[in-house]
Each structure stands twice: as structure tokens, then as C-alpha cells.
Amino acid sequence: MMLTPDQFLAAQKANLDTLNGLTNKAFEGVEKLVELNLQAAKAALAESQEHANALLSVRDAQELLALQASMLQPLAEKTAAYSRHLYDIAAGTTSEFSKTFEAKVAESQAQFANMVDTAAKNAPAGSDTAVAMMKSAVAAANNAFESVQKAVKQATDMAEANFNAVAASATNVAKSATTASKKR
């Protein structure tokens, strides 16, 4: 099956549009990352100044230890929140790329299935076995691709659950450490 010049141009235009869309999504992800980092830097600068001022007012070692302990929990919580935002940006951008990839694969599968059907209709008499074998191979490849997609989705979900568990655990450890140091 040969592509006509119009079909070829349409396919190239569609591919260029897809590339442009993916590039825009990548830049959106970078913009969000830069914005997150700027916010984190501003907050860190303000907190550093507050901490320096608080350190200058410390009168003894016990007060210094209490000051340091009081900063541990908020720092852990902010670190967990930053990591969560970072993960959300990466996951959102990756999701957009995955959707585009899946759409292109589905489109390609449909085109290939169409081509196989056209070839089957135009096949010479007696080639029924070869056509059936070809259709079976296409169906097997499609099923394999779907299985891989499901496995990737499950792995992604598990990674997100693990990330959430680690973030919650880190925050809880920081809270426990802060509580324990305040009791001293």
C-alpha cells in the first residue's frame, strides 16, 4: 500500500503537530519546576534570615538545642512537600507524554490492522492460512502491548504509593524527634 503525496504530507503534518505539542508540554513542566525552585529558594532565604536572627538571641546551650529541635519538624515537612510537588510535576509531564504515545500507538495499530484487512481482501485464492496467521500475529502483538501498558501502570501506581509512604514516614520521624528533643 503506497502513500499518496497528500497522505504523506498529512502524516508529516500530524507528526509535526504531535512533536510541537510534546515540546510545549515539556516546556510547561520546566516552567513549573523553575517556579517551584524559585518559591523554595525565596522561602529558604527568608527562613535562613529568621533562623540567623533567632540564633543571635540565644543565651545558653539549652536554648540553642531547643531552637535547633524546633526547626527539625518544619524542615522535614517542607522537604516532603517540595518532593511531593516535584513528583507531581514529573508525573504530570510524564502522563502527557504517555497519553500522546498511547494515542500514536493506537493509531498505528489501527492503520496496520487496516492494511492487513486490505491485504487480506486482495490476497490470492488459497492464502487464507497466511492471512489468518498474520491477523493472529497482529492480535498477539496488540495483546502483548496492552499487557506491558498495564504492567507499567501498576509499577507507576506502586512507586507513587511507596513515595507517599516514605514521605509520611519521614515527616513522622521528624515529628517524633522534635517531640523527644522538647521533652529533654
Q: Among 119, 140, 142, which residue's Cα sits nearest to residue 131?
A: 119
| Predicted local confidence at residue 113, as pLDDT | 80
What are the residues whose beta carbons fall under 8 Å from the beta carbon of 89, sequence distance 6 or more? Answer: 29, 32, 33, 36
Q: Tell me which DSSP letter residue 127 carries.
A: -
CA distance between the termini of the chain: 80
| Predicted local confidence at residue 68, as pLDDT | 84
Whether residue 131 contacts residue 120, with contact meaning beta carbons closer than 8 Å, is answered with yes
DSSP 123-147: PPTT-HHHHHHHHHHHHHHHHHHHH
| Predicted local confidence at residue 133, as pLDDT | 83
DSSP 35-90: HHHHHHHHHHHHHHHHHHHHHHT--SHHHHHHHHHHHHHHHHHHHHHHHHHHHHHH
pTM for the complete prediction?
0.64
Proportion of the chain in helix, strand, coil states, percent, rounded to 5: 90, 0, 10
**What are the pLDDT tens digits along the chain (184 aa)?**
566 888 888 888 988 998 999 999 999 999 999 999 999 999 999 999 998 999 899 899 888 888 888 888 788 888 888 988 998 999 889 888 888 888 888 888 888 888 778 877 887 888 888 878 878 887 888 888 788 878 878 887 887 788 778 777 766 776 676 666 556 5
| Predicted local confidence at residue 37, as pLDDT | 95
